[in-house]
Amino acid sequence: MKITGAQALIKCLELENVEVVFGYPGGSVLTLYDALYESKFPHILPRHEQGAVHAADGYARATGKVGVCIATSGPGATNLITGIATAYMDSISLVAITGQVIVPLIGRDSFQEADIKGITTPITKHNFLIKDVNDLPRVMKEAFYIARTGRPGPVLVDIAKDVFAAGVDFEYPQKITLRGYDPIHEGEEQIIGDVYKELLQAKRPLFFIGGGVNLSDTSETIRKIVAHTGIPVVSSLMGLGCIADDDPYNFGMIGMHGTYAGNMSTTETDLLVGFGVRFDDRVTGLVDEFAAKAKIIHFDIDPAEVNKNVRSHIRVIGNLQWSLNELLNQVINRTKQEWKEQFAPWREKMNAWKLEKPLGYDHNSDFIMPQQVIEKVSQITKGEAIIVTDVGQHQMWTAQFYRFQQPRSFLTSGGLGTMGFGLPAALGAKVGKPEKPVICICGDGGFMMNCQELMTVADLNIPIKIIILNNQCLGMVAQWQRTFYQRHYSHSSLKTKADFVKLSEAMGVPACRLENKKEMFQVIEKALSADGPFLIEIRIPSEEDVLPMVPAGAGLDKMIIGG
């Protein structure tokens, strides 16, 4: 019996175990929405397509499943772009479904036509345009397979409106034949032996972990290797949480706002082993001076990442689930004792750096310090909450001061640095992980970029907690202007007549404002323990800097420490 393309699409979603889609209707997807109505497929309606795609992204980051979003043709589809690019830069598995004008109208500048396949080509792992309903089941199968396997990423499927109405004998393919796509799982085994030999030779080794460890769910294996060998660990922004913050071998984040100990050890190490990292310029600083004394070993699933930014001496290509397990099997050939003795002097040195210049701030200030707020939130939640940030100073303070214990618990736009990501991503994360507390930390600037999603949060009673660290300016921009542009605060002030508490309440999310330092602990605690969603605006000083800071293009040891 024939079913419609729209019904077929929903069948595909069911067969791919999709629990929920985030979407926004419009002309070219009306037939699909009618099928959603009939089937009662779980659907969340944000108030902007950008909200839909970031929510699907947050859902994917928190759960490890594929996030799915839907938009109509033309403006609906183009509203997805920032979100797709955000997911692409951080290798997040998404399937974005867009409607397209009917086949005979394609290519004629028809009403609400946009070449979304062309537009998204540089920001998707792959994309498709379906013009024949018979292709639909196969394409959907391929789209989900491509999005979730290998190095994950967003896949866009553009579907002409008439395809949704056309009839099809539904058969979901069992097998996938993609001659050009064969994601490598296992690499060459003997290469792990080479890595092992390098570890035996090393005096000052350093593990550098990134988003790939989060994405491959291998944090446990890394923790075992570290516990057995005592090799110190540093992390990129995207790798935070993979090793517990209070692990004695953890030396925090490296890069532009990395810790002193982390950046110094990266400069001094003689063997840097990167796991699922891409040596982004925010991490390396001046690339020629990055880990200049070290041999570099690079573990990654994507062969194109190796030697892209930094030259590696050994490459280990394959899924980290394979390579880290192999490495673990090898390192246990030696005793803990033997390993730890080998690296004891190095760790002592690193500990000395850590003690010499720990992360800090002015504890005696009369103002509410943002770092202290993050520390409080961390204490209250024991480092176990899912923390979603926006982009700016608050994001870096969160990275520095929240004591992450778990992988997939720090959700942030690392690669693209997308302001407006926080609120919708937090919403999506909570939908995916209802049992976990989800806290969104925003600046007063980025919060406004998708603040319409407060309505979604309120209307669906999604119990996330939102903290706005209000410094009344575009803090990160202002910091650069202060540091490099003689305090010319060009258009970075956000002094406003608007009232965040009223705004939030007007949209249906109860809120309060915190201005008095004395009430801080109590107010935050109360806000976080509210039953439903809650927003808290916290007034912080305008001129606080994120430190340390490596000026763009300088070596990592050229940190501005301040204090």
Partner 1 sequence: MKYTLAVLVENKPGVLTHISGLISRRAFNIESIAAGYTEEPDMTRITIVVEAGDEYELEQVVNQLSKLIDVIKIIDLTGQDRIHRELALIKVKAAPGDRAEIINIVEIFRAHIVDVNKETMIIELIGEEVKIDAMCELLKDYGIKEIVRTGKVAICRGAKAAKED
Ligand X SMILES: Cc1ncc(C[n+]2csc(CCOP(=O)(O)OP(=O)(O)O)c2C)c(N)n1
**Site residues (CB under 6 A) for ligand X?**
390-394, 417-420, 443-446, 469, 471, 474-477
Among 104, 107, 118, 173, binds partner 1 (CB under 8 A): 118
CB of 303 to partner 1, least distance (A): 5
Whether residue 111 lies in the annotated active site: yes
Decide whether 91 or 409 has the Cβ nearer to partner 1.
91
Whether residue 49 lies in the annotated active site: yes
DSSP 8-state code for residue 402: S
Nearest of 353, 254, 278, 270 to residue 555 by alpha carbon: 254
Residue 329 binding target from partner 1, ligand X, none, CB below 5 to 8 Å by type: none
Catalytic residue among 369, 476, 507, 559: 476
Decide whether 19 or 135 has the Cβ nearer to partner 1.
135
315 by DSSP, 3-state: which? strand
CB of 541 to ligand X, least distance (A): 11
In this structure, what are the phi and psi dihedrals at residue 156, rounded to the nearest 5 degrees?
-110, 135
477 by DSSP, 3-state: which? helix
CB of 95 to partner 1, least distance (A): 14
Residue 307 binding target from partner 1, ligand X, none, CB below 5 to 8 Å by type: partner 1
Token pair, residue 319, equals 């899924």
258 by DSSP, 3-state: which? coil
| C-alpha to C-alpha distance for 429 and 108, rounded to whole angstroms | 39
Token pair, residue 391, equals 């982009």
Residue 390 binding target from partner 1, ligand X, none, CB below 5 to 8 Å by type: ligand X
Decide whether 168 or 374 has the Cβ nearer to ligand X.
374
| C-alpha to C-alpha distance for 299 and 279, rounded to whole angstroms | 12
| C-alpha to C-alpha distance for 173 and 188, rounded to whole angstroms | 31
Q: Does the protein bind partner 1 through residue 148 (CB under 8 A)?
A: no
Interacting residues with partner 1 between 291 and 310 (CB under 8 A)? 302-304, 306-308
Give the CA dihedral 189, 191, 193, 195, nearest 10 degrees. Answer: -140
CB of 318 to ligand X, least distance (A): 33
Q: Does the protein bind partner 1 through residue 129 (CB under 8 A)?
A: yes
Residue 521 binding target from partner 1, ligand X, none, CB below 5 to 8 Å by type: none
Nearest of 5, 136, 3, 22 to residue 450 by alpha carbon: 22
Residue written as tokens 């999604």? Answer: 462
Name the amino acid, one letter, at 385. A
Q: Does the protein bind partner 1 through residue 394 (CB under 8 A)?
A: no
Nearest of 226, 295, 469, 282 to residue 368 by alpha carbon: 469
Catalytic residue among 161, 354, 376, 430: 161
Residue written as tokens 């896949």? Answer: 155
Decide whether 206 or 419 has the Cβ nearer to ligand X.
419
Among 178, 200, 352, 552, binds partner 1 (CB under 8 A): 178
| C-alpha to C-alpha distance for 291 and 234, rounded to whole angstroms | 13
| C-alpha to C-alpha distance for 22 and 115, rounded to whole angstroms | 22
Contact present, 236 and 254 (Cβ < 8 Å): yes
Residue 419 binding target from ligand X, partner 1, none, CB below 5 to 8 Å by type: ligand X
CB of 391 to ligand X, least distance (A): 5
Decide whether 160 or 476 has the Cβ nearer to ligand X.
476
Whether residue 326 lies in the annotated active site: no
DSSP 8-state code for residue 560: B
Catalytic residue among 14, 38, 111, 543: 111
Decide whether 21 or 442 has the Cβ nearer to ligand X.
442
CB of 204 to ligand X, least distance (A): 35
The phi-psi region of residue 489 (left if phi > 0; otherwise alpha if psi is between -120 and 50; otherwise beta) is beta
User: Exposed, middle or buried by CB within 10 Å (0-12, 13-18, 19+), for 236?
Assistant: buried
CB of 125 to partner 1, least distance (A): 8
Residue written as tokens 């103002």? Answer: 367
| C-alpha to C-alpha distance for 550 and 563, rounded to whole angstroms | 15
How many Cβ atoms are within 10 Å of 543's Cβ, its own excluded? 11
Name the amino acid, one letter, at 370. P
Residue 146 binding target from ligand X, partner 1, none, CB below 5 to 8 Å by type: partner 1
CB of 17 to partner 1, least distance (A): 22
| C-alpha to C-alpha distance for 424 and 83, rounded to whole angstroms | 10
Residue 477 binding target from ligand X, partner 1, none, CB below 5 to 8 Å by type: ligand X
CB of 443 to ligand X, least distance (A): 2
Instruction: Determine the longest span between alpha carbons in the chain, in angstroms.
Output: 74
Q: Does the protein bind partner 1 through residue 179 (CB under 8 A)?
A: yes
Q: Does the protein bind partner 1 through residue 288 (CB under 8 A)?
A: no
Residue 118 binding target from partner 1, ligand X, none, CB below 5 to 8 Å by type: partner 1
Decide whether 82 or 127 has the Cβ nearer to ligand X.
82
Catalytic residue among 100, 112, 393, 481: 112
534 by DSSP, 3-state: which? strand
Q: Does the protein bind partner 1 through residue 135 (CB under 8 A)?
A: no
Q: Does the protein bind partner 1 through residue 188 (CB under 8 A)?
A: no
Q: Does the protein bind partner 1 through residue 117 (CB under 8 A)?
A: yes
Active site residues: 49, 111-112, 161, 476
Binding stretches for partner 1 (CB under 8 A)? 117-118, 121-122, 125-127, 129, 146, 178-181, 302-304, 306-308, 311
